[in-house]
Amino acid sequence: MEVIIRPDAEKTAQLAATFIARKIKEKQKIVLGLATGRTMERIYAILVQMHKNEGLDFSGCHSFNLDEYIGLSAEDPNSYRSYMDYHLFRHVNIDLKNTHVPNGMAQDVHSEGKRYEEEIRKVGGIDLQLLGIGETGHIGFNEPLSALMSRTRDKSLTPHTRRQNAEMFGGDPEKVPSRAMTMGVGTILEARSILLVALGESKASILAKAVEGPITSMISASALQLHSACRILVDEAAASQLSGRQYYDWVFQNEPEYAQYR
């Protein structure tokens, strides 16, 4: 795990998009694991600009989203399929047949989880997994006590998560679905590389626990400490409670692999 701290949210998003773009250029038929939420919106906007202005080519990409609300159809404006269409898919040259989001309307959620895992296996696994972190420490919708080897499945959402996501539902937490399909922690850890992006002071406390605290199922993001190719990309506000930031800054300023990003 390596932590990279940038001065503000815009520079953090710019660097995240640059990392993703370089991965796409390196491997034409890349498999991307994608995330949703406010943190991702600027990253996707920059990738769209790179496609339109620099010819960033998504035509060979496959994508798998982390999660979807149970009970929302793909056409529902609050679904994560709609989110991805609106913020990314409709604006780049990705083949929509190669974009995957869990089916929130599946009659059998257990079978849907198995189907989704099989679709990931068919394309050889995820090359780069993009993540945010929830205020409860979740990645995907892996709420507290999610098994560290869990697979794609249905999960009940905490009241805190529903309050955090209420903005997209008119501000009413009761309108946020109480359950979701999500990739498991074990599924996420199988990605060849991982990029977690966190912005803002509201993420500072939980980020410090996830990165520098013990590995625990109470904070599913802490499992990323087990991954050999995980980057944590944060702005100053989100980094404010990290105790090891002097070392993290030294690594970014001195490691040759980061010279092209400085």
Are 63 and 102 in contact by the 8 Å Cβ rule? The answer is no
Burial class (CB within 10 angstroms; exposed 0-12, middle 13-18, buried 19+) of 90: exposed
Contacts of 2 (CB under 8 A, 6+ apart): 230, 231, 232, 248, 251, 252
d(C-alpha 14, C-alpha 20), whole Å = 10
CB 197 within 8 A of CB 12: yes
Active site amino acids:
67, 138, 143
Crossing angle of helices 38-54 and 9-26, in 10° steps, is: 50
Helix, strand, coil percentages for the chain (3-state, nearest 5): 45, 15, 40
Return d(Cα 231, Cα 246) in angstroms, integer: 16
Run of H or E residues at 242:
none
Phi, psi of 71 (to 5 degrees): 100, -5
92 φ, ψ (degrees, to nearest 5): -130, 175
Q: What is the dihedral of CA 68, 193, 262, 92, to 10 degrees?
A: -50
